[in-house]
Each structure stands twice: as C-alpha cells, then as structure tokens.
Amino acid sequence: MVRNANAMILAAMRASSVVFSQDAPFGRREALMVYLRRKVEFSASHRLYNAALSDEENLAIYGRCANPSGHGHNYTLEVTIRGKMNPRTGMVIDLKELKQIIVEEIVDKVDHKNLNTDVDFLRDIIPTSENLVVSFWRILEKRLQGICELYEIRLWETENNVVFYRGEEEEIVRHGVAHNS
C-alpha cells in the first residue's frame, strides 16, 4: 500500500513542473534535492555579425542572419533551479517569485527589443543564442544566490533550435574580435 502511494505521489510530481530526484527514497529524513523549471517567452530581434569581419565574411558565417536589417524570433526561455525543500513550506522557491525574478532580470529587458542596440547587458556582444544563455546565466545566478542554485538555462530560438547552459565557464564572443577557425 505504501509502495502504491509513493508511486502515485511520484507520478503526480512528474506531471507537474516540479522534478524530484530519484536518489533518495521517501522514507529518508534528509531533504530531497528538487529541480524546478519555469518557462517564459519573449520576442526580440537581432543581427548576427562580427564588426571585425567584412560583410562577405559575416555573410559566409551567419548566412541570412547577417542581414543588416536583422530578423526576429519568438524565444522560449526555460530556467531550471535546484535546492532542498524548505521544511516549513515544502518549496525550494515560490514559483511566483522565480517567475518575477526571471521577468525583472531578463524578460523586461529583452522583450520586443533589438538585442544588438537596445539591451545594455548585451552591448558589444554578438547576440547568438549561445551568448544569450551565458549572459542570462550570469545575471540570474547573482540574483538567485542564497535562495537556490541555478541548474540549467535552455533557450529555444525556434522549435527546432535550443541551446543549453549549466554554468560551465564560457567566454562570451564580442564584436570586434576576429576568431580564426
């Protein structure tokens, strides 16, 4: 009976936006490591190019994404955090608070903006999805410090293109830096 109840609880948890670690059985007294994911959407335009390269080189590297007029995307941003449940609340973080942090720190600054010219924290950064997730990580990691641990950021540029980042040290590629491959 207990086994069936635990299976039902796990099934309900998997169906929600809360992902529980399988590492610790429910009978253990220490707190479980819990993963929560919040999804938000924003729309933005950008142009992919490196100012240190010629128009021809940019076109060869970035294709139509180097169009001087730019282009836009409807992005989906997924932020996954992890932490131990608060024994008083049963939560790692209130999902409303996590959403508010993501919206204040990222969405309000990038939604319906030109990522090349309108976003201060992206100034001089080539706004590839790879550079965006690293930039978003650095901002959210600071804001979530002491509350929970940032585990992963996923950025969907299209339904077919997604970039993942888990905080590994990565250098952001900026304009004016020509890289030879």
Q: Which of 57, 97, 152, 157 is catalytic?
A: 157
141 annotated active-site: no
User: CA 102, CA 112: separation in Å to the nearest integer?
Assistant: 16
The single residue of 65, 97, 105, 130 carrying the catalytic annotation is: 65
CA distances from 39 to 107, 150, 173 (A): 11, 14, 26
Closest CA to 114 of 99, 101, 125: 125
Instruction: State the residue for tokens 């993942």.
Output: 164
> Among this protein's residues, is 65 annotated catalytic?
yes
Q: What is the CA radius of gyration of the chain?
A: 20
Phi, psi of 96 (to 5 degrees): -65, -40
Which one of the listed residues 41, 112, 141, 170 is annotated catalytic? Answer: 112
Indicate which residues carry an active-site annotation. 65, 112, 157
